[in-house]
Structures are given as C-alpha cells and as structure tokens.
Amino acid sequence: MIPATGESIPVIGMGTSGSFEVDAAGREPLQEVLRRFVAGGASVIDTSPNYGNAEDVLGDLMAELGVRDRIWLATKLAADDRAAGEAQFAQSLKRLRTDKVELLAVHNLRDWKTQLAYARELKARGKTRYVGLTHYVDSKHAELADIMAAEKPDFIQINYSVSTINAEKRLLPLARDTGVAVMINRAFDDGRLFERVAGKALPGWAAEAGVTSWAQLFLRFVISHPAVTVVIPATGKPDRQSDNLKAGRGRDLSAAERAELVAMFA
C-alpha cells in the first residue's frame, strides 16, 4: 500500500536495467517476460532514461501487447539542470509511448533539488502520480535518509537484500514512520546471490512458507519487511520471471527465518 494515497500495488514488480537493453533479436524473450508479468497480475515496472535503450524497448513491447493501461510505470530524471530534465522527460514519454507515468524519481540523487522540484511540478500537472528519490549503494543511505526526512517524497527506491541489510538501520524505519513508500532494487545483489547458493539446498522451512527456489526466498525476505512496498527484480528470461512472480504468493517470513538468512549471507 502506498501511504501517500492508500493505493495498493502488487509487491512483485520488475526492473529493466540490463535486461531490457537489447537489440532487435533480444526483444523476443522480453515480450514473453512482459506477457507473463501482466498475466500473473503484476504491474509495477521500473525503468530510466539512462538504461541504454530500455525505455524504447519497454515502450514498444507495451504497445505491441496493448498493456500500457495495466502497467504501473516508473521512470526517472537523470539530468544536471532544469532544461536537461525537461528535455529528458519529454523524450521518456515518447520512448515509453505514453503521456504520463505513475512514478517519476530522481536517479541517484543527481541534481536532486532542481529535479525533485521539477518532478513535483509535473505531479501537479498530472504527468506523474508520485515523485521519488533513488539510490543503490549503502554509502548513500545516510544522505538519502536526511533528504527523505526533510522532503517527504512519495517514494524512495533503495537497495536491500539478504546480504545488504544496511537499509534496516535507518532508512526503512524512517520511511515507515514518515509514510514514504519503498521500492527495492538489487534484491539479488545484481545476481551475485545466485553464485553463493549454487548447489545449496533451501532451508527446511522454505516449503512450508510456500517458497520453492532461492530467487523466491530472496524476494520473500525483502517483501517481508513491513516498510517495503514493492520489489523490482530484473530478468530477461521468461521462466525466471515466472519464478520471481511466485514470491508474491505466501506468508511473510518470521523474524527467526529472516535472521537465519542474514546470518547465512553475512
């Protein structure tokens, strides 16, 4: 649930960094990735103008499948001044083949004062429903927390996973206390977590929690935190998309299960 409005969104979304930066031949599996996503009842997709051609690919595939109205679309401002932000957002709308987005976030706090003010103007004009701030490394959490406390954006997007739990210290409790929705990137630590579990069995309690893969377990860990609104794992592979979507069905992990996972990946 998004505190600013009470709107509900599905907890499993998807990212497009890398996975949607493809040439013509690479688009075919992505159409199936998107088809399964929508068929599974998911909707939140995160992209950015600086993810190569990802906005173009996503815009084309949404149009081909006729699903734009079923997608809760998030993109970003990654610019260094007002004029560049304006030009970039106009271009994003064209590339995404839409006239508005659901979330517009300032990428990695870049020129954040100017870009957040511009995003708020766009919100007032109905061009985005929410505004946000993003980052993806622990070393920027303190700065992001200070800005979040002062500015109270609708959303933050941050990194959080079984192996990177720094967000639990201040950002996640603060977001919860101040009513800021939280989108999680890098739930698989950019894929590195899979190397660490190669050949390893799931914990004994996983089946009872409705979890049948490590990907589902990593995602369930993230969405079990009470401050987390949505997680955006990225994949270009249809079967992995189906796997990731399954993480959204089942109970939250207990405190003891969460602690066991953290200890395993410390």
Ligand X SMILES: NC(=O)c1ccc[n+]([C@@H]2O[C@H](COP(=O)([O-])OP(=O)(O)OC[C@H]3O[C@@H](n4cnc5c(N)ncnc54)[C@H](OP(=O)(O)O)[C@@H]3O)[C@@H](O)[C@H]2O)c1
Q: Which residues bind ligand X (CB under 6 A)?
A: 15-19, 46, 107-108, 134-136, 157, 185-191, 194, 215, 232-237, 240, 243-244
Q: Which is nearer to ligand X, 168 or 190 (CB)?
A: 190
Minimum separation from the CB atom of position 93 to ligand X (A): 18
Minimum separation from the CB atom of position 38 to ligand X (A): 17
Q: Which is nearer to ligand X, 18 or 203 (CB)?
A: 18
Minimum separation from the CB atom of position 139 to ligand X (A): 13
- Nearest-CB residue to ligand X? 15
- For residue 31, what are the CA distances in angstroms to 113, 190, 207? 37, 22, 31
Tallying the residues shown for the chain, one arrives at 266
Query: What does the block give as tokens for 81?
Result: 């001044």
Q: Which is nearer to ligand X, 22 or 254 (CB)?
A: 22
Distance of alpha carbon 39 from alpha carbon 163, whole angstroms: 31
Minimum separation from the CB atom of position 161 to ligand X (A): 7
Q: Which is nearer to ligand X, 236 or 248 (CB)?
A: 236
Q: Which is nearer to ligand X, 186 or 220 (CB)?
A: 186
Distance of alpha carbon 246 from alpha carbon 211, whole angstroms: 8
Minimum separation from the CB atom of position 18 to ligand X (A): 6
Residue (of 133, 145, 137) closest to 169 by Cα position? 145
